[in-house]
C-alpha cells in the first residue's frame, strides 16, 4: 500500500467512525462535511464497515400506516345453480368492490 492510499484509507476510516456517532443520518453527516454519499458508501464497503453503520432510533424511522385491509363481505346462503346458468353478482356490488380494492392505487397516482 502506498503512502497516498494509506492516507486516504485513514481519512475515510475516520469519516466512517464519525458518521456512526453523528446524531443525524449518514446523508446529513456527508452534507455537513462536504463529502459525496457515494464516495462514503464506497469506502464504508471497502473498509468492511457495514456493521459500523449507525442504527436509527424508532423516532427517525418513518412509519407508513396502511389502511386496514378488512373488506366487509356479506355471506349469502347457498343457492343452487339454475338451469339458465350461474347467477352473477350484482354489478353495483362488483363495481364497489373494485373501487375499494383499487382506491389506494388511484390515490397514489394523483
Cell of 52: 459500523
CA 55 from chain centre, in angstroms, equals 16
3-class secondary-structure state, position 82: strand
Average pLDDT over the chain, rounded to whole? Answer: 76
Task: Give residue 102's pLDDT.
Answer: 84
Task: Give residue 2's pLDDT.
Answer: 73
Domains of the chain by residue range: 3-52
| Mean pLDDT (whole number) for 8-34 | 86
CA proximity to 68, closest of 25, 95, 31, 104: 104
Report how far residue 15's alpha carbon sits from residue 33's, in angstroms, rounded to the nearest whole number: 9
Report how far residue 36's alpha carbon sits from residue 104's, in angstroms, rounded to the nearest whole number: 36
Helices (H), 1-110: 3-21, 26-33, 37-46, 91-109
Highest mean pLDDT among 7-16, 34-43, 56-65: 34-43
Q: What is the pLDDT of residues 67-91, one digit of tens each?
A: 666 777 787 777 666 667 667 788 8
Report how far residue 53's alpha carbon sits from residue 22's, in angstroms, rounded to the nearest whole number: 10
Amino acid at each position: 500500500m502506498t503512502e497516498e492510499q494509506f492516507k486516504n484509507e485513514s481519512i475515510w476510516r475516520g469519516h466512517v467512525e464519525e458518521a456512526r456517532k453523528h446524531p443525524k443520518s449518514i446523508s446529513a453527516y456527508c452534507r455537513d462535511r462536504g463529502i459525496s454519499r457515494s464516495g462514503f458508501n464506497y469506502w464504508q464497503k471497502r473498509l468492511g464497515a457495514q456493521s459500523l453503520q449507525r442504527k436509527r432510533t424508532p423516532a427517525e424511522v418513518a412509519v407508513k400506516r396502511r389502511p386496514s385491509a378488512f373488506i366487509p363481505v356479506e355471506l349469502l346462503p347457498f343457492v343452487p345453480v339454475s338451469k339458465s346458468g350461474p347467477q352473477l353478482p350484482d354489478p353495483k356490488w362488483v363495481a364497489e368492490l373494485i373501487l375499494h380494492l383499487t382506491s389506494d392505487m388511484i390515490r397514489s397516482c394523483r
